[in-house]
Amino acid sequence: MSDSYTDKELVERVQQGDKKSFDLLVLKYQNRIVKLVSRYVREPSDAMDVTQESFLKAYRALANFRGDSAFYTWLYRIAINTAKNHIVSLSRRPPEIHLEDPDGEQINTEELQKDIATPENLLLASEIKDTILDAMHELPEDLRVAIILREVDGLTYEEIAEAMDCPIGTVRSRIFRAREAVDSKLKPLLQH
């Protein structure tokens, strides 16, 4: 079974008026789209805006999505086009306004925005990565191998069962237990 099967079901639900299913698609793909957009848009705050705009465009165009390609492929194209349009709009934008502070020194508003947008995010993103990777190292080997074969190598349960020489039920259980172990470390970090 492929990833796109779940996506297809979620897309059909959105097309039948279920907005909440679109939220599940956003939660699933947001990080991949941010990473994609960040290749084109340097500023983290801009990357977030472009990502948000890409998802909104996707939602508005979803009525015309016929499923000829996978949902992610379609979303990917929308995100790239939105990022490229953003770059074009930046080149047309008038030069940055430099405000003068009371001491007569100039303040770059772009820098100001950058400062507001990133430090907390940078720290949180770094903490998330460290927490997950540390939790992975602490996993028993059979759980770690199972989840890596699934998440990194993209193997199906059946393929993992063959590779690890165990029943599919065991694969399901190992992947779930691995996720739960990592999640127990991750959850407190995201609750702040």
Partner 1 sequence: MKLDHETLSIIVDSELETQDPRKFESIAADQELRSKWARYHLIGDVLRDNLTDVAPAHIADGIRTEIEREPTIFIPQRRRRSWLKPITGLAIAASIASVAVIGVKRSDVDPALSDATVSAIPMQLPDDQIAKVLEEPITVSLDDINPALGTPHTKRRLNGYLVKFNEQRSSFGVPGVNPYVRIVGFESQ
12-31 positions binding partner 1, by CB under 8 A: 12-24, 26-28, 30-31
- Using the rule CB under 8 A, give the single segment among 68-76, 79-87, 101-109, 173-181 that binds partner 1: 173-181
Among 80, 132, 145, 164, binds partner 1 (CB under 8 A): 132
Question: x/- binding map, residues 42-81, to partner 1, per CB under 8 A?
Answer: --x--xx--xx--xx--xx-xx------------------
- If one asks whether residue 182 binds partner 1 (CB under 8 A), the answer comes out as yes
Residue 62 tokens, joined:
């979803």
CA atoms of 95 and 28, how far apart (whole Å): 37
CA atoms of 130 and 147, how far apart (whole Å): 17
Among 70, 80, 128, 145, binds partner 1 (CB under 8 A): 128
CA distances from 88 to 55, 93, 167 (A): 19, 9, 53
Contact between 162 and 170 (Cβ < 8 Å)? no
Which one, of 139, 119, 140, 145, lies nearest residue 183 by Cα? 139
- If one asks whether residue 107 binds partner 1 (CB under 8 A), the answer comes out as no
Residue with tokens 């993103």: 125
- Shortest distance (Å) from residue 6 CB to partner 1: 4
Residue 43 tokens, joined:
């500023």
Among 88, 90, 112, 190, binds partner 1 (CB under 8 A): 190
